[in-house]
Amino acid sequence: MAAILLIEDDAAIRSALSRALSERGHAVQWQPAGLSGLQSVIDDRPDVVLLDLGLPDLDGLQVLSMLRAVSDVPVIVVTARDDDSDIVRALDAGADDFVTKPFGADQLEARIRAVLRRSAAPRSDGPITVGGLAIDARTRTATLDGRTLDLSRKEFDLLHMLAQRPGEVISKRELLAEVWRQPYGGGDRTVDVHLSWLRRKLGESAAEPRYLHSSRGVGVRLLAPPTADDGPDVPGTTADATSAAGASGAGPAH
């Protein structure tokens, strides 16, 4: 059972969805417009938001970015548009998943369960450190040499995913699937753009990488830069199996 907020102006879709979701045991509230929907996110703290992109007062993408400023609630975008660029923009703006109208209630239910599972995943793992980077999934903060990085939601998710497997090349397809929930590919540019923003915030560039190393045509990996003590041939991660598993900071094992 989840508390679901449906932001949808079409009364027929709204009542069909409300009925289908209520029958599946969910508590459904709805709002017919963007602003009232945002207010309800703040007031009612739903578990999941279903957001129509075509709303009478605000564009759904605007609603999404305003919502993301105040809440981490999972958002599934419901769109009649078959324009992939809208879906990419919605995912970039912080949507967790999307369904395209028309869709079946079972499909929607499966998506809802999936986003709830992800948002309920334990975040008890301690901060991950890779070189001077420390990434704390629990507080969603990252620091570089003790300085807090001002990262967007997706930049943080991207960095966190790479940091969970330091030294491992992770394909853009996998990043798209895991960070953007877009398993169908076709959004390489989304990854590239976010990587370049992330590089800038880490004070490095693709030409002179320190932490973020792209393997052309394959993917990207996060490595600790070599320290002064390392020889010139050391590729430079200090992460061992322990820190790769996210348990860094545990110190010596006795």
| CB closer to Ca ion, 54 vs 226 | 54
In the chain, helix, strand, coil percent, each to 5? 40, 20, 40
> Is residue 9 involved in binding Ca ion (CB under 5 A)?
yes
Query: Could you tell me which stretch among 48-56, 81-89, 111-119, 246-254 binds Ca ion (CB under 5 A)?
Result: 48-56
Q: Which of 27, 33, 54, 197 is in the footprint of Ca ion by CB under 5 A?
A: 54
Which residue has the closest beta carbon to Ca ion?
A: 54
- Nearest-approach distance from CB 34 to Ca ion, in angstroms: 10
Q: Footprint of Ca ion on residues 144-163 (CB under 5 A)?
A: none
Residue placing its CB nearer to Ca ion in the complex, 52 or 97:
52
For Ca ion, the closer of residues 33 and 144 by Cβ is 33
The least distance separating Ca ion from the CB of residue 85, rounded to whole angstroms, comes to: 18
Nearest to 52 by CA among 130, 108, 2, 117: 108
Complete edge-to-edge strand list for the sheet that includes strand 147-148: 128-130, 133-136, 141-144, 147-148
Within 219-248, which residues bind Ca ion (CB under 5 A)?
none
Residue number with CB closer to Ca ion (77 or 159)? 77
> Nearer Cβ to Ca ion, position 87 or 198?
87
Q: How far is the CB of 44 from Ca ion (least distance, A)?
A: 21
Nearest approach, Cβ of residue 33 and Ca ion (Å): 10
Residue 44 has which token pair?
Answer: 């009612």
Name residue, tokens 């990854």: 191
Q: Tell me the number of residues near Ca ion by CB under 5 A.
A: 4
Judged by CB under 5 A, does residue 86 bind Ca ion? no
Q: Residue 251: what are its φ and ψ, rounded to 5°?
A: 75, -170
Nearer to Ca ion, 64 or 142 (CB): 64
Are 88 and 79 contacting, i.e. CB atoms less than 8 angstroms apart?
Answer: no
Tell me: does residue 52 bind Ca ion (CB under 5 A): yes
Kindly write down the DSSP assignment for every residue of 149-216, as one continuous string.
Answer: P---HHHHHHHHHHHHSTT--EEHHHHHHHHS--TT---HHHHHHHHHHHHHHTT--SSS-SSEEEET
**Taking contact as CB under 5 A, which single stretch among the options 1-9, 132-140, 168-176, 198-206 is the one that binds Ca ion?**
1-9
Q: Which residue, 79 or 248, has its beta carbon nearer to Ca ion?
A: 79
Span of 10-18, 95-103, 147-155, 190-198 interacting with Ca ion by CB under 5 A: 10-18
Q: Say if residues 199 and 222 touch (Cβ distance below 8 Å).
A: no
Cis peptide before 102 (omega within 30 of 0): yes
Structure tokens at 17: 């969805």
CB of residue 86 vs Ca ion: minimum separation in angstroms? Answer: 13
Residue whose token pair is 């490595």: 223
Q: Whose CA is closest to 79, among 103, 116, 53?
A: 53
Binding site for Ca ion (CB under 5 A): 9-10, 52, 54
